[in-house]
Amino acid sequence: MSNAPVLILLGPPGAGKGTQARMLEEDFGLVQLSTGDMLRAAVAAGTEAGRRAKSVMEAGQLVSDEIVLAILKDRMTQPDMARGIILDGFPRTDGQAAALDALLAANGQKVTAAVSLEVDDEAMVGRVSGRFTCGSCGEGYHDEFKQPAQAGTCDKCGGTAFKRRADDNAETVRERLKAYHAQTAPLIAYYEGKGVLARIDAMGPIAEVRQALSSIVGQVAA
Ligand code: ADP
Ligand code: AMP
């Protein structure tokens, strides 16, 4: 049995899940679990799961529940999970949500809160197309909305190498938005039915969204 909070960030690609999850790590000492990051690491490492996921990710579709759950379950056995977690990009299907419930129940836990970041699809194409990250520490940036204080140098770690994701192009983003609406958006009603859903307007600047999210998370993870 653990009282550690389990938070879920829901929202389409570009909604700000990763950006806000990293801030919640700083503000509340929680651990970010991004299945997208885990899958990209598996692709880069050339594991069996990574080889199977690669073309699916490039096409902007969802990787099978089987692969995603195997990767996530493995990560959830690590001791730092006791600090509480922020799930970023998971669950994305009914099957993943049910599997998460079962996984948590086995440990006497349940989802503490699911926060839906509400945004306009069209704005997400611009957000995702302008995204880049520090190659050393993974800090996220944007060509227009979040530039490093000193051009070419990461604010967090001083790194000077940045990278862009292969799937962050306008065409693939539209596929990912379709997958979101068909397979993931229904989870908003699922968590609403469980009485753990909060919705926030995530169209405003990063600092405003951070404030709105902090006031929700502060009630369950202070
Ligand atoms: P997600 O994890 O939901 O796909 P990210 O957190 O990676 O989204 O954000 C996508 C891009 O948009 C990043 O380049 C990030 O810097 C930028 N971004 C995040 N939140 C906002 C916001 N509220 N306003 C403007 N740009 C944002
Ligand atoms: P993200 O980093 O969350 O934008 O995810 C990038 C890509 O990884 C997605 O377009 C999917 O192909 C895959 N992916 C990440 N998380 C999941 C998940 N929970 N279920 C299925 N596919 C996922």
Q: What is the pTM of this model?
A: 0.97
* 33, 34, 35, best to mutate for ligand 2 pocket (most atoms within 8 Å of CB): 35
CA dist 204 and 218 (Å) reads 20
> Is the model's pLDDT at 120 over the cut of 80?
yes
DSSP helix/strand/coil, 176: helix
Q: Running DSSP on this structure, what letter comes out for residue 65? A: H
Distance between alpha carbon 142 and the CA centroid of its chain, in Å? 17
What would the pLDDT profile of 124-137 be if each residue is shown by its tens digit?
A: 999 999 999 999 99
pLDDT band at 1 (very low <50, low <70, confident <90, very high): very low
Residue 30, sorted as left (phi over 0), alpha (psi -120 to 50) or beta, turns out to be: beta
Rg (CA), the chain: 17
CA dist 46 and 133 (Å) reads 21
Instruction: Please check whether residue 86 is in contact with residue 29, taking contact to mean a CB–CB distance below 8 angstroms.
Output: no
* 9, 43, 62, 132, best to mutate for ligand 2 pocket (most atoms within 8 Å of CB): 62
Place of tokens 């129940």: 105
131 lines ligand 2 (CB under 6 A): no
Q: Which two tokens stand for residue 157?
A: 């770690």
What would the pLDDT profile of 29-56 be if each residue is shown by its tens digit?
A: 999 999 999 999 999 999 999 999 999 9
Q: What ligand has the least distance to the C-alpha of 124?
A: 1
Instruction: Please check whether residue 80 is in contact with residue 32, taking contact to mean a CB–CB distance below 8 angstroms.
Output: no
76 lines ligand 2 (CB under 6 A): no
Mean of pLDDT values over 80-104 = 96
